[in-house]
Amino acid sequence: MKQKSRVFSLILVLALLFALIYLLNNNESVAYDSDDNISIAMNTMINSVIYCDNGEFEEYITDIQNVVTDLENEISWTIDGSDIDILNNSLQVSNSDLAQVIAVCLEVSELTGGCFDISIGDLINLWDISSGSEIIPSEDEIILAAQNSGYEKISIIDDTIILSESVSIDLGSIGKGLALDEIEIYLEQTDVDGAIISVGGSVLAYGNYNDAGDTWQIAIQHPRDENSYIGVLKIDEGFVSTSGDYEQYFEVDGVRYHHILDANTGYPSCSDLISVTVVASSGLLSDALSTAIFACGSEYAQTLLDYYGASAILIDNELNINVIGDLDFEILD
């Protein structure tokens, strides 16, 4: 009898063990093969992680770099012969894709009363904060550069972009997002299962990284501690862009002069927000909206996000976090 009970116990234990192993294995997802690379293009870092079984990783990574370089040659205002260079110098250029992009930018400019503006190339050049300059320009210089800007001087007729006066178009605020849009178009033509691509901190989450379709986890930079993250955003796919006052800035007499300028004042924007992360259906929108909401302030957020069907995480100067829209965002301690 004693012996029987022992055998029974053993069988029970083994059965439970196998059931447990089966359950755990059954829930375990299988990650796709992956490879990653960091390169520099568009004056920023391109961090590509590609997930694909039996994929030609090197080819994908090279192609992605080429997609970004091709776009840069088209939209960089500092590259001779780019469409934006032609536009700035000849006051008009025909390019249907570019016309659509600029139409969206003009719409955001109108919705923000000109606070977001792509025609402030002269002001950006004057401050030159992205190049590490720490000089506050004179009032006269700022007024002059501000006069040479204004989105209302840009119009679009069919596929042609026309400037009524000489203004300097600078697509720096949306260039990274545009690159991600082009990369998404490229990835859709490949066998890649999933990819997470960061172009200078703007992120595209594409497809899946495992066969369970688990969400992508994207850390959001802490705006006041460069070596930590303020939270983790979980998304199935989409575009994520963050704008803040902490990436490129200098301080004079306790005032922080950062690289995102308010077109209406000619100075670095001074809203109630220090970091804005937007999740949108395109890189153009996530970049444009994060810049616009950061520059113009939280009062513009709901309207802009509703209009474009986007969501956002707003952080104010007391590090209060406000999540707008249906986002899975976990705040880190």
Does 132 engage in binding with other proteins (CB under 8 A)? yes
> Is there a contact between 316 and 310 (Cβ–Cβ < 8 Å)?
no
95 is an interface residue for other proteins by CB under 8 A: no
259: DSSP letter: S
For residue 100, give both structure tokens.
Answer: 């659509």
Contacts of 243 (CB under 8 A, 6+ apart): 260, 275, 276, 290, 291, 293, 294, 295
Whether residue 268 contacts residue 261, with contact meaning beta carbons closer than 8 Å, is answered with yes
Give yes or no for residue 307 binding other proteins (CB under 8 A): no
Site size for other proteins, by CB under 8 A? 50
- Cβ of residue 133: shortest distance to other proteins, in angstroms? 8
Vertex 105, ends 104 and 107: CA angle to 5°?
A: 65
Q: CA-CA distance, 304 to 311, in Å (whole number)?
A: 10
Check binding of 288 to other proteins (CB under 8 A): no
248 binds other proteins, rule: CB under 8 A: yes
**Which tokens belong to 162?**
């026309």
- Which helix (H) or strand (E) element contains residue 31? none
Residue with tokens 């009524």: 164
Q: Is 227 in the site for other proteins (CB under 8 A)?
A: yes
Residue with tokens 């809203």: 271
Strand order across the beta sheet in which 92-94 lies? 92-94, 160-163, 154-157
Residues 64-93 that bind other proteins (CB under 8 A): 65
249 binds other proteins (CB under 8 A): no
Stretch that binds other proteins, among 43-51, 95-103, 114-122, 296-304 (CB under 8 A): 43-51
Task: Please tell me whether residue 201 binds other proteins under the rule CB under 8 A.
Answer: yes
The residue within the footprint of other proteins, chosen from 131, 138, 302, 322 (CB under 8 A), is 131
Q: Which is nearer to other proteins, 88 or 269 (CB)?
A: 269
Q: Which is nearer to other proteins, 176 or 300 (CB)?
A: 176
One of 6, 78, 135, 236 touching other proteins (CB under 8 A):
6
Is residue 247 a contact point for other proteins (CB under 8 A)?
yes
For residue 161 the two structure tokens come to 């972009």
In angstroms, what is the minimal distance from the CB of 263 to other proteins?
23
Query: Binding to other proteins by residue 333, rule CB under 8 A?
Result: no
Q: Give the Cα separation of 203 and 242 in Å (integer).
A: 9
* CB nearer other proteins, residue 42 or residue 304: 42
Those residues with Cβ within 8 angstroms of residue 50's Cβ, 6 or more apart along the chain or in another chain? 34, 35, 36, 57, 60, 61, 192, 194, 195
Binding mask 253-272 for other proteins (x = CB under 8 A): --------------------
Answer yes or no whether residue 322 interacts with other proteins by CB under 8 A: no
210: amino acid identity, one letter:
N
Task: Sort residue 113 into left (φ over 0), alpha (ψ -120 to 50) or beta.
Answer: left
Q: Does 125 interact with other proteins (rule: CB under 8 A)?
A: no
9 binds other proteins (CB under 8 A): yes
Tell me if 16 contacts other proteins by CB under 8 A.
yes
Q: Tell which one of 11, 103, 185, 219 touches other proteins (CB under 8 A).
A: 219
Contacting other proteins (CB under 8 A), which of 112, 119, 149, 241?
241
Whole-angstrom distance, CA of residue 221 vs CA of residue 160: 39
**Positions in the binding site for other proteins (CB under 8 A):** 5-6, 8-9, 12-13, 16-17, 20-21, 24, 37-40, 43-45, 47, 49, 65, 131-132, 196-198, 201-203, 205, 209, 216-221, 226-229, 232-233, 240-242, 244, 247-248, 277
